[in-house]
Amino acid sequence: MTDSTPRGYRLGYARVSTLEQDPALQHDALKAAGVERIFTDQASGALTERPQLTALLEQLRPGDTLVVWRLDRLGRSTSHLIQTVTALEERGVGFASLTEAIDTTSPAGRLLFGVLASLAAFERDLIRERTLAGLAAARARGRLGGRPTSMTADKLAVARRMLAEGRPKSTIAATIGVSRATLYAHLARLS
């Protein structure tokens, strides 16, 4: 049975992108902020596989605080960062970023993080609106959005002839240079 009493530990996470980089600056700042244990990954922020972050997330209990030197050390993107901090909050775990002076264990820190989350959602909505407007404008000019089809009329004619000859669909797909899924989808439309 695990103890559910809030512990209040401050656990730190540091990340450097390459083996040549030194996490000492992050470690020093985290220790100065009262972090009791530091988990460090040497990996690009774009990678989803960060074993030390996974280990840290498993260690955190209600009442603990995850502390980072800077926001970009934790999140791969704004949306990933917001998802991570929201998941921590749901578990009763606080979050602090030293450089940006964000601490979700305080009302002001929660407010600031909420504003950042709202700005990120606003940015996503703007991108979506611009994309939809661009596609509508292209359609109005007679162009369709998306990638051009890899299955041309000539390829389809060859595929139909080879199919009539009894050739396997995998061979047909390889011969005309499309995936089997593309071939199957186009053949299904003909049925």
Give the C-alpha separation, 138 to 145, whole Å: 7
Which amino acid type is present at position 87? A
Sheet harboring 94-97: ordered strands across? 37-42, 10-16, 65-68, 94-97, 102-103
Q: What is the pLDDT of residue 19?
A: 72
| CATH classification code of 10-118 | 3.40.50.1390
Query: Across residues 3-14, what is the average pLDDT?
Result: 78
Q: What is the pLDDT of residue 91?
A: 94
Give the C-alpha separation, 176 to 156, whole Å: 9
For residues 46 and 17, the answer to whether their CB atoms sit within 8 Å is no
Domain ranges of the chain: 10-118, 153-190
When pLDDT is cut at 50, 70 and 90, the band that residue 188 belongs to is confident
pLDDT in tens, 77-136: 777 888 889 899 999 999 999 998 889 988 888 888 888 778 877 887 888 898 888 888
pLDDT in tens, 44-85: 756 667 899 999 999 999 999 999 999 888 877 777 888 889
Q: What is the pLDDT of residue 1?
A: 43
Residues classed as catalytic? 17
What mean pLDDT is reported for the chain?
86
